[in-house]
Amino acid sequence: MLNAAVVGGTGYGAIELIRLIDKHPNVQLKKVISHSQSGTEIQEVYPHLTQIVETVMSEWSIQNLSKEVDVVFFATPPGVSQKLIPECREHNPSLQCIDLSGDFRLTNPADYETWYGAPASPQQYLEEATYGLTEIYTDKIKTSKLISNPGCYPTATLLALLPAVQQGWVNLSSIIIDGKSGVSGAGRKVSLATHFSEVNESVKAYKLGAHQHIPEIEQFLQRETADPSNSPVQVTFSTHLIPMTRGLMCTVYFDLNEPKTTTELINFYTEVYSKHPFVRVRPEGTYPATKEVSGSNYCDLGIHTDPRTGKVTIVSVIDNLVKGASGQAIQNLNVMNGWDVRTGLLEIPIYP
C-alpha cells in the first residue's frame, strides 16, 4: 500500500485525483496540500466528499511529506511544480513524483519560456523527467521517478497520430488539429471566459496559434518521426470552448505519403493498441462522441480515409479530467509500480 499526497488540492485535476485514489486498492490518500486553503477541511470546499474523504488540507513541507508518503501528485498551475519537485528529488530520491502541469514537458527551456511566458524548470530535471503518454512510453515510465503527465489536447492528438507517424505514413507538413474542450479544462478559477452566460449556447475559438500545447505536440511528433532528418514538424492547431463541463475532441487531418484504405488503417491501429486497454478503435463507419468516454480513462478513435482527396481524418475523444489528466496520472503510477495498468481505473463511462 502506497501513501499518496496531492498538491493543489482545490483544483479540478486534484479533486479528480482524490476520487480515483479513493477507489484504488493499492494507494491511500495521506495528504492534500493547498497553500490557499491550508487548515480547511476538504469537504468544506467540496461538499460531495462529506463522509467519504475527510482531511484537513495543509501547507507544503518537504521535511514532513517525505516521511509520510511514497508518491506526490502535482495538480498545480504552471510554475509551481518546477520549484517543488527539485526539493522532492533532492530530499528523497526514492519519492515518486507525477506532475500534471506543463513544467517538465518541454525539453527545450527556450520553448517553455516562449509559450508559457515564464522561466523554465532547471535543465537537469527536464532531462530526468519521463513524458507520461502511457501507451507510447511504457518502458521508460517503468523505471522513472519523475513523470511529466501529458496535456489533455496532446494526449488525444498524439494517440491519434503517433502510430502512423512512426511508420512514416504521414505528410508531416499537412497536419491540422481541430480541438474542442469542455470548460473544466480552464480550471476552477472564476473568469469571464468561462462565465455561464458567456459560454452557454456558444462555441468559441481561443488561443489560435498561441496555445501552449502546440510545442508539446510538435516535440513528440518530431521525436517519433520515422525519418529524423525531416524538417521540424509544425502543426496547425485550433482550440474551441464548448458549453459542456467534461469532454474533449480532437479531429485530426493529414495527407498520406502512400495510399492506405480506411480498413487498412483501422486494422493497423487496432493491432498497435491491442495491448493497451484504454485506447479503443471504432469499427469502420462509426465515430466516437465525448459522452461515450465521460468519467472514464478511455481514448476512443474513429478513422476515415477519403479516397477522393487522399486525406485521413481521425476523431479522438477523451475525458479531459481523466485520460487527459488525473486518470493518466494513475495509469502511470500503475506502470511505475508494476501493477496492472487498469488498477483503479476500470470505470464504465457515465452515460447518458
CA–CA gap between residue 322 and residue 93 (Å, rounded): 28
Q: CA 222 to CA 233: how far, in whole Å?
A: 6
- Kindly report the length of the chain: 352
Alpha-helix residue ranges (DSSP H) falling in the chain: 12-22, 42-45, 62-68, 81-91, 109-116, 123-128, 138-142, 152-166, 196-199, 214-224, 262-272, 327-336
Q: Which residues lie below 8 Å from residue 347, measured CB to CB, with a gap of 6+?
A: 295, 296, 297, 322
* CB of 333 closer than 8 Å to CB of 96: yes
The DSSP bridge pattern shows strands 248-255 and 311-318 to be: antiparallel
Q: Give the side-chain half-sphere CA count within 13 A for 268.
A: 17
Tell me the C-alpha to C-alpha distance, in Å, between residue 330 and each of 69, 96, 164, 249, 257.
Answer: 16, 12, 27, 21, 37
Question: SS3 for 197?
Answer: helix
- Respond yes or no: is residue 250 known to be catalytic: no
d(C-alpha 18, C-alpha 332), whole Å: 16
Asked whether the beta carbons of 9 and 38 are under 8 A apart, the reply is: no
For the beta carbon of residue 137, count every other beta carbon within 10 angstroms. Answer: 18
| Choice among 88, 97, 152, 250 that is catalytic | 152
Peptide bond into 352 cis (omega under 30): yes
Evaluate whether 296 touches 319 at the Cβ level (below 8 Å): yes
List residues with catalytic annotation: 152
